[in-house]
A and B are shown apart, each in its own frame.
Chain A
Amino acid sequence: MLKIGLRSVLAHRLRFALCTVAVMLGIAFVGGAMVFTDTLATALKKQFAGSTADITVTPVDPVESRNGPPPTLASAVVSEVAAVAGVAEADAQLLVSDVQIRKPDGSTIDTYGLATYGAGWPHAISTSPFRLIDGQQPFGTAELALDQSTASKAGYAIGDQVRIVSATRAVTAKLTGIITPAQAGPAAGAPLVVFDSATAQLVLLGKPGWTSIAVTLKPDADTEQVRTAIAKAVGDPYNVRTAAQVEADGETALDTTFGGFSSILLMFAGLALFVGAFLIVNTFAMQVAQRSRELAMLRAIGASRGQVTRTVLAEALVIGLIGSTLGLLLGIAVAAGIHFAYQQLGAAIPSAGLQITPATIIACYLIGAVLTLAAAYPAARRAGRLSPMAALRDGATIPERSLLIRLLFGGFLLLMAGCLYAVANHAGGMPGAVLIGLASAMALLGIVLTSPLVSRYAVRALMAPFGRKAAVTLGRRNAERNPRRTSATASALMISVALISGLVVIAASAKASIDASIAAAIGTSDLVIGSSDPDTFSPQVADRVRKLGEVAAVHQVRQQDGKVDDIPVRLTGVGDGTLAGPISVTLDSGSLDGLAKGQAVVPRTLAKTLNVSPGKTFTLVTTSGTHKLTVAGILSPNRQLNAIVVALPTYESFGGAPADSLLYVDVADGTSMAQASTAVLSELKDYPSIQVRDQQAYAAQARGPVNAAAGVIGMLLALAVLIAILGIVNTLALGVVERTREIGLLRAIGMDRPQLRRMLRVESIAVTLLGALLGLLVGVLTAAAIQRVLVDDGLGVLDIPVLQLIGAMLVSALIGVLAAVWPSRRAARLNVLQAIATE
């Protein structure tokens, strides 16, 4: 049976080419994601997860924040560790990320998104992750060392003055030493600046402290015993790990980081395969219908039902295997391309060669084969049910199964989706949004199942504006004649369009919400000073700006991450009058008076979650410890200030880093914004990471990430649309083959080629518009529902970009036109006489 299947595939190459492409595109995503992740992880684990110390002691970070100042430990702890039996040496180390190293021209060195590290010079050579190559160890606040690669890239030689900007301070110091890049640990391969340890504490942390202790054991000591002893000595707030444990943790961290990326790729793989499955289902259904006589003949000459079914499945298997092979190759090429691009960027990712694991190959083939077989199965089973008598009858057709079960199940799904929407609306917040996503997935499936029922009427209504010319009527009727096929073809497009339009509406709403909240929140302030990479900056900046004649007042805002009941929160410290002027807030209840007494204002959503009201207390955990806070007031949703707010003195008493996150600047009377902006910029020109923006620019910057995210997701979704278009081309092309005789007849009685093309174009547009409209409907409704439940979580405004959506419909119609080009060219080339003579 495999032989017959293989022959059939070869005989109908064209017909199967599109199926193969669909499988290939889906599998390319799967393969690409797996190969890329494996490659990156192998390369990074090789270098990043190592450790040079026998045992490492680090403070537990209660907040697990990825940005902001690192948790530190005091010198007393180092002494405690050194006193433990079996410890030969306990070396306190200091390593801080988010440091900027400036080039001689004042710009920041390029890091391509990787962190730049600052460190203190180690006491012990044995546990040091780097070595001195040239010059001398830096000493005092006026000297530093750089790693060799950074120094040569930036063009520094020993004796040059180098400017360093940390989260807390900016200094200029003389380059006295060149070191190797770090060989292990998080800073491995990254740009690195080193001070002597006292200076490092001052410049990098802004306060005394260390980030870890590297322990060297006495030769005869048992690692595990000493580890336990150290853990006992230092107590709970410290992680005490052996070299092996550090390595394992490093790998886990890498998996978390890159796991996110690869799961996004895999999600799109799933989408591509799902959409592709519609194409395969349709192809095989049409294929079996067209070959019903041939298959019935097989039955008549003695093939069993099972054998006929297996013949069709064998074809599917062949396609699945070919598609998987091509997809795997394409996936490897894609992964290699991404990897190559990374290397070209000069990022410090070591090369490890492409990792093509057996798991990847097996997964690709398994998914490709199983998917194709599953998609072809319904058609294969119907082929097996063909009566041998069908071979003898003219125009044998396979009886279609009743739509009833499909409709009932589809209706049930739609009903369930409706209920789920109601529940989601009640739940609100992120859980509500997730439920709505689920409900929409159910609704889409429900529509897929029930759409054959409505497709006829929908097509008729949609195509009404195209008039009643003969070719138009014929094309429309062709779209109506097989509702199952039309709706399956349209469904693939519907799903893609639903995702895209949902994304468009949510992105537009997010932007509109940002604009609205910024307009409402930046009350009276004229300029906003902020920074990126690092996100915080030295209080020196505020002092210098305050001295300017063009400036009337500067409001400092500090922020750090914290946790309440294990919920990540943001803590904001504001000065007197900041909430009355530059940030305008409204309170649901309570008042701002409590701030001066050390109390806190809590955002509405958090208050709801914690079930607190003014006068109640809650416990806040920050990097520096736990703090009891009393609620002074409840804050209405506010984008500028979606955080627990305390007064600056309270914030400082919590031990937060002395660094500002934002400065709101009031311009002096009689000074124009432009003048003030210029003055501030020229004062701060040695801080290139600092940005001075007015409201418009601030809003634009806040919208940036939304745009970027929407762009990336949109591009990946475009691939799903591409597969859906292939599906339309496929259905039309197969329809042309199926209706060869009819087309011959039409040509004979006087349909000219433009009319024939128009007929197919109309059919294509009908299918496309049906899919696009249903998709648009589901997408927009989903987005609107999500906006409703997230109204307190930053999506305050619903913005449906009507023009964009109308544009999307027009583009869909255009896609329909394009999809018809190739099939109609084939149809127009048909020889009239041969076409009429076709069986």
Chain B
Amino acid sequence: MIVNEAAVRAVGVTKRYGAGQTQVDALVDLSADFGKGRFTAIMGPSGSGKSTLLHCLAGLDQPTSGQVFVGDVELSHLPEKQLTHLRRDRIGFVFQAFNLVPTLTAFENITLPLDLAGRTPDRDWLRTVIDTIGLTDRLKHKPSELSGGQQQRVACARALASRPDVVFADEPTGNLDSQSSADVLGFLHRSVREFGQTVVMVTHDPSAASYADRVLFLADGRLRSELLDPTAETVLDTMKSLDPAVAG
């Protein structure tokens, strides 16, 4: 497995909101590499800029300065249309909630990015993904007929359906109970281990971060620390060392 090649790179990314007195720097000159075939977690307290970083990496938001590369494509100068197509073809998304289109069945939701691109799905790959999320018998159901955990697993399957360069997950377990969280995280973990996918996940849950290969710690828009092969304990320890408030 090639681990030193980056799927996504941030180079000197700064994101500034507002101007003058109300100016806030969400990200300050941040650089980071996210290796291919790796599962990276981004952690940090509220307002640390972790979601902003994810949005900039995914081409949903434009950095004020600095560059973002997905593969060898630099995002900051891409026009809106190509940015959209990049998201569709090379990036997968899992949001905290409201991931699915209510009018479409689970299966239609999974193939939606492919349908939007007008691409024929790779049937074997699709079957593998669906088998892995374990919802074969619920594919014809509408999202409203699925539990929260099932909905998130469908969202994960959708993110992987197009074999993207990278899957971004923004607090994917934020609204789930522990069993459902374990299912979703286990699935993301397997997609990296078994299928060689790349996953970048924002979370504030140390046990969720423990599924990752690497954890980046952010505070005040800056990269503060990094942990390889984390466990829930080592993650918690690192958080404590960075933010005294967590220790209490």
Contact = CB atoms under 8 A, between A and B. Distances in A.
Q: Do A and B come from one complex?
A: yes
B103 A833 contact: no
Contacts of B99: 745
A752 B89 CA distance: 12
Given A474-B104, A750-B84, A741 B89 contact: no
Given A478-B103, A481-B102, A742-B102, A473 B84 contact: no
Interface string A358-387: 000000000000000000000000000000
A746 B88 CA distance: 10
A749 interface: yes
Contacts of A474: 101, 103-104
A480 B104 CA distance: 11
A477 B104 contact: yes
A615 B113 CA distance: 86
Contact of A470 (B55, B85, B98, B115): B115
Nearest to A481: B103
B55 to A, nearest CB: 6
Interface string A743-764: 0011111111101000000000
Q: Which of A477, A481, A748 has the most CB of B within 10 A?
A: A748
Contacts of A745: 95, 98-99, 101
A832 interface: yes
Contacts of A741: 98
B98 A752 contact: no
A621 interface: no
A830 to B, nearest CB: 12
Given A752-B81, A753-B80, A471 B116 contact: yes
B211 interface: no
B66 to A, nearest CB: 18
Interface string B78-91: 00110011011101
Interface residues of A, number: 24
B85 to A, nearest CB: 7
Q: Which of B60, B80, B116, B117 has the most CB of A within 10 A?
A: B116
Q: What band does the interface of chain B fall in when counting residues whose beta carbon is under 8 Å from A?
A: 20 to 34
B63 to A, nearest CB: 13
Nearest to A476: B103
Contacts of B91: 750
Interface string B48-67: 00000001000011000000
B80 A748 contact: no
Q: Which of B98, B99, B118, B158 has the most CB of A within 10 A?
A: B98
Given A470-B115, A471-B116, A833-B61, A749 B103 contact: no
A478 B103 CA distance: 7
B176 to A, nearest CB: 14
A470 B116 contact: yes
Contacts of B103: 474, 477-478, 480-481
B115 A747 contact: no
A473 B87 CA distance: 21
Q: Which of B60, B61, B85, B91 has the most CB of A within 10 A?
A: B60
A752 B91 CA distance: 14
Interface of A: 469-471, 473-474, 477-478, 480-481, 741-742, 745-753, 755, 832-833, 836
24 contacts: A470-B118, A471-B116, A473-B108, A474-B101, A474-B104, A741-B98, A745-B95, A745-B98, A746-B101, A748-B95, A749-B93, A749-B116, A750-B85, A750-B89, A750-B113, A750-B116, A751-B116, A752-B81, A752-B85, A752-B88, A752-B116, A753-B81, A833-B60, A836-B98
Interface of B: 55, 60-61, 80-81, 84-85, 87-89, 91, 93, 95, 98-99, 101-104, 108, 112-113, 115-118, 158
